[in-house]
A and B are shown apart, each in its own frame.
Chain A
Amino acid sequence: MKAAVIVSPGSNCDRDVQVALRQSAGADPIMHWHGDPDLPYVDLIVVPGGFSYGDYLRAGAMAAHSPVIREVVARANKGVPVLGICNGFQILTECGLLPGVLMRNAGLKFICRDVDLRVEAADTVFTRAYVNGQIIRIPVAHNEGNYFADEDTLNRLDGDNRVAFRYCTPDGEVIARANPNGASRNIAGILNEARNVLGMMPHPERLADAALGGTDGRPMFDSLVEALAAAA
């Protein structure tokens, strides 16, 4: 599997994703500078977390207009898997690959902690190493993770089974108490219609190493390696 990690000014989880990809794939991803529109052919594109352009204007808004993102959109439309984590998710909504927006957390504070997620769509290249209904523990770290979309969009996401993860209690209950940021319907991650684009607020790369306190994020990278190995 050949992967590219998009590095924007202000990306700061690029190295963390690089480490997680290297661990699962056995090879380093390409670290691709945002200003270079000439994106090499890859099997997977990751838009990592951080504060691209300082989150000025609106989280992800400026990075969504950077030269390489136009190319990322084109590749996604051709079916290349694109994973957006945290600020990467914000960028993917800003550039229109995913519906909805990520608003300021309901509590108006930055939140960094482990949360429990229920896997809702284990049928994608990103999630095939999980099973539906599995409860996994993965950290969030964000100011703007409060997913919002209009009712029609939310119904469509639910109807098409495009919600990949929801915030839940350790027992798997999807209730308000388990929602760290006020996201509509406890949504933590969503897919596009073709299911080759995933945006999620939690950071799977942060718990993919037992020394850091957990490995529930690792199956995501293993899923991708397994699904995309043939293409490499």
Chain B
Amino acid sequence: MSGITPEIVAEHGLTPDEYDRVLKIMGRAPNLTELGIFSVMWSEHCSYKSSKVWLKKLPTEAPWVICGPGENAGVIDIGGGKACIFKMESHNHPSFIEPYQGAATGVGGILRDVFTMGARPVANMNALRFGSPDHPKTRHLVDGVVAGIGGYGNCMGIPTVGGETNFDPSYNGNILVNAMTVGIADADKIFYSAAAGIGNPVVYVGSKTGRDGIHGATMASAEFDDDSEEKRPTVQVGDPFTEKLLLEACLELMATDAIVAIQDMGAAGLTSSSVEMSDKGGVGIEFDLDLVPVREEAMTPYEIMLSESQERMLMVLKPGREDMARAIFEKWELDFAVIGTVTDTNRLVLKAGGEVVCDIPVPPLVAEAPEYERPWERTPTSPVLSADDALNGIDMSATDALSAMMASPDLCSRRWVWEQYDHMVMGDTVQRPGGDAAVVRVHGTNRGLAITTDCTPRYCVADPVDGGRQAVAEAWRNLTAAGAKPLAITDNMNFGNPERPEIMGQFAGCIEGMAEACRALDFPVVSGNVSLYNETSGAGILPTPAIGGVGLIEDVTANMVSPRFADAEEDIVLIGDTAGHLGRSLLLRQFADRDDGAPPPVDLAAERRNGDFVRSLIRAGSVTACHDLSDGGLLVALAEMALAGGIGAKLAETPDGLPALAWWFGEDQARYVVTTNAAEALLAEAQAANVPARLVGRTGGTVLTLADGNSIPLTDLRNAHENWLPEYMAAS
């Protein structure tokens, strides 16, 4: 087959330069199937061609890291012979087009990334960003995405234990659906994707291959095939029931010694899985495409290789184990087909109808993939706002501000969301959604994994470097506030069009800040995903480097706390410095309609010092509750603790020299609130450790009372906090 025209090349998203590179590697013109394979492997999504040079700057190592970025997911040692395997991945574009299926298949994809490495998934998390609540599509998108995430995870029987949901007009045309899965495996039974063993069988398992998800741009051309109506682009449709069977079958087979290598078929399906497996193993792979289980008739090699049908896996087995493996998959009523062999040619050779339809040298396909150092511009800095400037025109009591903020889209309860997720199945969820971090026990033990997702995009857009630092630091704080030792993160970099220098500048800045924070906090990146081109009509989203963090609690019965006020008549202590920083704060946004100023600066040394101190208090059993301070500052954190515990508080005078609203709602970093029965000793310890600490109130009653005489009953606060989202979703 020849006749590859410049138009066909362009429709495949390859530049003329990139196509020249293809010609050089092939030594001839590629046929359509080969061109399709180059096109998907060199797509931004698979090749990370715009982001790779920057991602290399992130620290990825620590003594407890077993496997960093580059495999299906990151792996860390959590002791006791167990490893934690986790990753976060975006499914932004499909979720905007078809929110239920887009979100559902996003969950399905990330689950496969984790169990393909040998882990049983134990928790799902997510980071969701929608447009303005006033935008006509928002309600429909929230409804579909939440139902899709729940629909997939609930059916799989894997608890969705938390996440974040935010609204901002910048996401009106590009919502973000980032799904994270955390799994647990035996540390000595991790499965990797490098194919090995010349002559070993290559096996396809799972669902049949259909025409879903083949790249829309390439599908649009009628010149590809006589049967053009067969080439409609379709949205991938998830089948969580099949995935549940695939999970159980894979884990059953993994308990034997039959598997040499395994890789899930995610983006770019059979193409990327086979190319990655052969490249990593330094071998070739040969397939007979006639043996691939297909759902539709007369599928072409091009379609089979580019299909993104869900719930499929590719494995290399040891010779002679095929029958045993087949029996397991047949028991689970799944397709199982030996479709090829590992070869020593370093080439991807595909046969169909007895003829070779594709023959590509694998090493250059991967190693010579384009990599761009795109031009970038540093984001101009915003001036630091003084508290007086920020509060100019905001004249209200702290309690009135609190009532309104707790009922705002930014801070209202997300119960409507997480009650649609089965967050308790598997019987190990010891901290449910709604707190700082969710905690799931390592099954059969008292050890716990704390999990969080965090990012504050309005900080990132103002100062990507500080925003990047803050996203990592907040994840670290949330884990710390539960009592966990933070271990590692996965990152999901969501940005606009990288061909615009100001967007690349945001990307570069965020990476710089994240890298710094990861180093300062010993919190390496072990997996991640990049989603670029989140733009509509030239308007990009807020830069959103979503961070998924995992930490370890040695004993959830002794070393864990939650944000809930535990009892009345306990002292409330604020840890960390408060300068009353209101630039980019929610207070400013809600009451002055302003999104300006520099974001709160992040002092990583203070983060480390204050966080290590708080964790030591929790481990020593000297605090009864702990909450990290973030959006909305101190008074919002106190209100959340009071609502969670159903216990009020009497709050102390605000300090001199700072406007009360800046004290209550400033978003200064590196801060926590703890409650204790031994405040004096705690304050003395803090002083000795050079950690700022201050008594800010005492728990009790059912009212939140400020020293200025104003107060709010918790029932009123709860109604305001709980009602906004259900009422918004019920309206039409």
A residues lining the B interface (CB < 8 Å): 9-13, 15-16, 19-20, 35, 49-51, 53-56, 109-113, 139, 141, 143, 203, 205-206, 209, 211-213
Contacts and interface: CB of A to CB of B under 8 A. Distances in A.
B241 A110 contact: no
Given A10-B244, A109-B147, A211-B441, A206 B419 contact: no
A9 B244 contact: yes
A49 B155 CA distance: 10
Contact of A12 (B151, B244, B331): B244
Contacts of B154: 51, 110, 112, 141, 143
Given A12-B157, A54-B240, A211 B430 contact: yes
Residue of A205, A209, A212 most packed against chain B (CB within 10 A)? A212
B427 A213 contact: no
A9 to B, nearest CB: 6
A55 B155 contact: yes
Contacts of B422: 110, 112, 141
A38 to B, nearest CB: 16
Interface string B225-253: 00000000000000111101100000000
A97 B446 CA distance: 39
B425 A141 contact: yes
Nearest to B420: A110
A225 to B, nearest CB: 18
A12 B420 contact: no
Interface of B: 147, 150-151, 154-157, 239-242, 244-245, 331-333, 418-430, 432, 441, 446, 556-557
Contacts of B420: 109-112
Given A51-B244, A53-B241, A19 B157 contact: no
Contacts of B427: 15-16, 19-20, 205-206, 209, 212
B150 A110 contact: yes
A12 B423 contact: no
B140 to A, nearest CB: 15
B419 A54 contact: no
A111 B419 contact: yes
A112 B424 contact: yes
A209 B157 CA distance: 19
Given A19-B427, A51-B155, 12 more contacts: A9-B244, A10-B245, A12-B156, A15-B427, A20-B427, A51-B154, A53-B241, A54-B239, A54-B240, A110-B151, A141-B425, A212-B427
B425 A13 contact: yes
Nearest to B160: A112
B419 A113 contact: yes
A58 B430 CA distance: 32
26 contacts: A9-B241, A9-B245, A10-B241, A10-B244, A12-B156, A13-B425, A15-B427, A16-B426, A19-B427, A20-B427, A51-B154, A54-B241, A54-B244, A110-B150, A110-B154, A111-B420, A112-B421, A112-B423, A112-B424, A139-B424, A141-B422, A143-B154, A203-B424, A206-B427, A212-B424, A212-B427
Nearest to B241: A54
Nearest to A205: B427
A226 B421 CA distance: 35
Most buried by A among B333, B419, B422, B446: B422
A206 B430 CA distance: 11
Contacts of A205: 427
B556 A13 contact: no
A100 to B, nearest CB: 23
Nearest to A9: B245
A203 to B, nearest CB: 8
Nearest to B427: A16
Nearest to B248: A9
Nearest to A50: B157
B426 A9 contact: no
A61 B238 CA distance: 21
B240 to A, nearest CB: 7
Contacts of B242: 54
A15 B241 contact: no
A9 B333 contact: yes
| Residue among B147, B155, B331, B425 with max Cβ neighbours from chain A (10 Å) | B425
Contacts of B432: 213
A212 B244 CA distance: 25
B157 A13 contact: yes
Q: Name the residue in B154, B418, B424 with the highest tally of chain A Cβ atoms < 10 Å from its Cβ.
A: B424
Nearest to B730: A107
Of B241, B332, B446, most A-chain CB atoms within 10 Å: B241
A9 B240 CA distance: 12
B157 A141 contact: no
A28 to B, nearest CB: 13
A110 B150 CA distance: 8
A212 B240 contact: no
Q: Which of B147, B427, B432 has its CB near the most chain A CB atoms (within 10 A)?
A: B427
A157 B430 CA distance: 37
A141 B419 CA distance: 9
The 9 A-B pairs at the shortest CB distance, nearest first, are namely A12-B157, A54-B241, A16-B427, A51-B155, A141-B422, A112-B422, A110-B420, A110-B150, A206-B424
Contacts of A11: 157
Contacts of B332: 9
A28 B268 CA distance: 44
B425 A212 contact: no
Highest count of chain B CB atoms <10 Å: which of A12, A112, A113: A112
B564 to A, nearest CB: 11
A211 B555 CA distance: 11
Output the residue of A10, A19, A139 with the most chain B CB within 10 A: A10
Nearest to B333: A9
Contacts of A139: 424
A217 B241 CA distance: 28
A133 B378 CA distance: 68
A13 B425 CA distance: 7
Nearest to A55: B155
A113 B416 CA distance: 11
Contacts of B241: 9-10, 51, 53-56
